[in-house]
Chain A
Amino acid sequence: MTEEKRVVLDVEDLCKDFVLENGSRLSAVDHVSFQIREGECFAVIGESGCGKTTLAKLITRVEEATSGRVIFQDRDITALGRGKMKSVLRDMQMIFQNVLSVVSPKMKIQDFLLEPYRNFRLMPKREALENIRRMLKSVRLTEAVLKKYPHQLSGGELQRICISRAFGMNPQLLICDEITSALDVSVQDDVMKLFRELQSQHGIACLFICHDLALVSNYSDRIMVMYLGQNVEIIDSADLGTKALHPYTRGLLQSFLFISSDRGRAIRTISGEPQSPVDVSANCRFCTRCPKASSRCFEEVPPLREVGPGHYVACFLLE
């Protein structure tokens, strides 16, 4: 069913190497490809340092890609100039992780919310304010917040304000960089429900970066698992628990804790140390920790192969 929908974001073979001071190369994002379709919530998960945030920065051109292409709405944006990029950014909103530092402490919420309307010259102030009020209502906040400074609001309230702003712009793509990780668990669920509701209402494609597997499997449509810059598996969220094939994904699923889980059950963790991402040779990045690694895994990069409809895995074990 997702097949018929328009592709909003197409990332092709994207790579980003950082050159370190001593001249070695740190490969943060390594040949990552994926597509996001209209109305879809595409989650990227992986442990910290696996290149999730770099990926977001590459798509938004905060960082320049080393190679590869980002195609947004049928337009290659990897080489756009600054002025043209500005018009692209209007259709590509981002919600940041650290809500407490996203609003200037000297700015009232109203000014913060009015900024994009003003800068992109979208509509006159009165209309913009109307729009803002409507969006605030949809995230269940009162108009009273407009007159407040950010330090007078809680993290959850601020994140809802950011969400209302992002959706208010009616973007084509919404990038969420760990939007719940700065929030209390009790608030996370509310914020996510709200987020999903708005997302399906507006039909906006969403790139959802997160490290919380449980949260992601509940609230997203497809999941991409990243390990040290490589894309190891792309799978439908519904199939995650049953059909995941890559050893890393399975390891993640097993290391999961449930509040109701049997205390006698051993917690299975992924053993071994991750490879250093500096000056890597061409191999499967997970080979040092993989319980089933063969000699081939140490010598070649496994290609991403389609093993089922919409299910891609990069692993030699499945051949």
Chain B
Amino acid sequence: MAKLKQAPAGGEIRLKRGLQRGTVIRIKFYAILTIAILFVLFAMNAEHFAPYDPIANDYACSLQPPSAEHICGTDKLGRDVYSRILCGAGGSFSMAFVMLIFVSTIGTTIGMLCGYFGGRFDVIMMRFVDVLLAFPDTVFAIAVAGMLGPGVLNAVIALGLLSWTSFARMARSLTASVREKDFIAQARFNGASTPRIILKYIFPNVAPQIIVMATMRIGGTILSLSSLSFLGLASQPPAPEWGVMVSESKAYMQTAPWMMIYPGLALVLTVVIFNLLGDSLRDVMDTKKQ
């Protein structure tokens, strides 16, 4: 009888070529991840790095342009813009993280249940999602934040009420496509119960995309929170928050542009870093590319 040879360890040649590419992707990912982690650590411990008190007024040096003492200048109350930017970062990050973890969990759970079971629950849920998606999100958030009253927590709730829907949709469509795969039929054949199929077979195939989506959303969420603060619906002055700072600088746009430029740049930098993180995370999660 023709003997089968011992199986080689899974196609060496294919692996070697893939490894190089995978390595590049991974190096890129770890580089961006390091930057992002440093960024977050820095923001969380900003009080230790800030040269000045972010809230203390100092009328003697109000509206000073950037200089050696105040590298980003000062605002009309003489507060150091650089210190305020640093101290403002922490709050925005933690709010965005907490909200996204919460929202993606809820959205994914609902989406997976809808996608797996279908039926009436799915129809009702998805029509509800359609209704929510029909609102322009900023307008909806303004309305909700207006109703609940200004405040950071209320702003987060207002944003969260809408943003779970995209997670639900994504999870639902991914689940619906995974559900038809042969390995689900095979799993049922081997006695896997429905909860087990959802957790062990469907969730691992849905999770990477959800994690990528959540990461990509960090930047956007910080931006939305800042917009609400800008409109006076989230953080209130004198809190050092980027949206609040931009809002306060409106009147001085021409005489003291640094008041607006530096918080704006901080926002851009944050959004770019987290979007890059999301992108490279997607590449890394794609096991087939490695």
Contacts and interface: CB of A to CB of B under 8 A. Distances in A.
B4 A152 contact: no
Given A115-B192, A119-B193, A140 B7 contact: yes
Interface string B1-14: 11111110111000
A190 B5 CA distance: 10
Interface stretch (B55-63, B147-155, B181-189): B181-189
B287 A106 contact: yes
B119 interface: no
A283 to B, nearest CB: 35
Given A141-B7, A145-B10, A193 B2 contact: yes
A62 to B, nearest CB: 7
B191 interface: yes
Contact of B189 (A94, A106, A153): A94
Given A149-B287, A152-B11, A101 B181 contact: yes
A101 B182 CA distance: 6
B191 A142 contact: no
B15 to A, nearest CB: 7
A151 interface: yes
B204 A90 contact: no
A300 interface: no
A96 interface: yes
A96 B182 contact: yes
A86 B189 CA distance: 8
B7 A89 contact: no
A148 interface: yes
A157 to B, nearest CB: 5
A145 B181 contact: no
A53 B196 CA distance: 27
Contact of A98 (B182, B193, B201, B204): B182
Contact of A119 (B1, B7, B196): B196
B2 A189 contact: yes
A104 interface: yes
B205 interface: yes
Interface residues of B, number: 29
Interface string B166-197: 00000000000000011101110111110010
Which of under 10, 10 to 19, 20 to 34, or 35 or more describes the interface residues of A? 35 or more
B4 A89 contact: no
Given A60-B189, A115-B192, A193-B1, A151 B183 contact: no
B288 interface: yes
A180 interface: no
Interface in A145-203: 145, 148-149, 151-154, 157, 160, 189-190, 193-194, 197
Contact of A105 (B3, B10, B200, B287): B287
Interface string A65-98: 0000000000000000000001001100110101
B7 A157 contact: yes
Contacts of B186: 94, 96, 102-103
A190 B1 CA distance: 9
A315 B200 CA distance: 51
A120 interface: yes
Contacts of B288: 105, 151
A107 B207 CA distance: 13
B204 A102 contact: no
Contacts of B181: 101, 104
Contacts of B10: 144-145, 148, 152-154, 157
A116 interface: yes
Given A140-B6, A157-B7, A116 B205 contact: no
Nearest to B202: A104
| Residue of A106, A144, A153, A154 with most partner-chain B CB within 10 A | A106
Given A89-B191, A103-B183, A145-B10, A152 B3 contact: no
21 contacts: A89-B189, A96-B185, A98-B182, A102-B186, A104-B181, A104-B205, A107-B204, A116-B190, A116-B191, A119-B190, A119-B193, A120-B190, A140-B3, A142-B6, A144-B10, A148-B10, A152-B10, A152-B11, A157-B7, A157-B10, A193-B2
Given A96-B182, A107-B200, 6 more contacts: A94-B189, A107-B204, A119-B192, A152-B15, A157-B10, A190-B4
Interface of A: 60, 62, 86, 89-90, 93-94, 96, 98, 101-107, 115-116, 119-120, 139-142, 144-145, 148-149, 151-154, 157, 160, 189-190, 193-194, 197
Interface of B: 1-7, 9-11, 15, 181-183, 185-187, 189-193, 196, 200-201, 204-205, 287-288
Q: Across chains A and B, which 10 residue pairs bring their CB atoms closest together, nearest first?
A: A119-B191, A106-B204, A116-B190, A152-B10, A140-B4, A101-B182, A104-B183, A120-B191, A141-B7, A102-B182
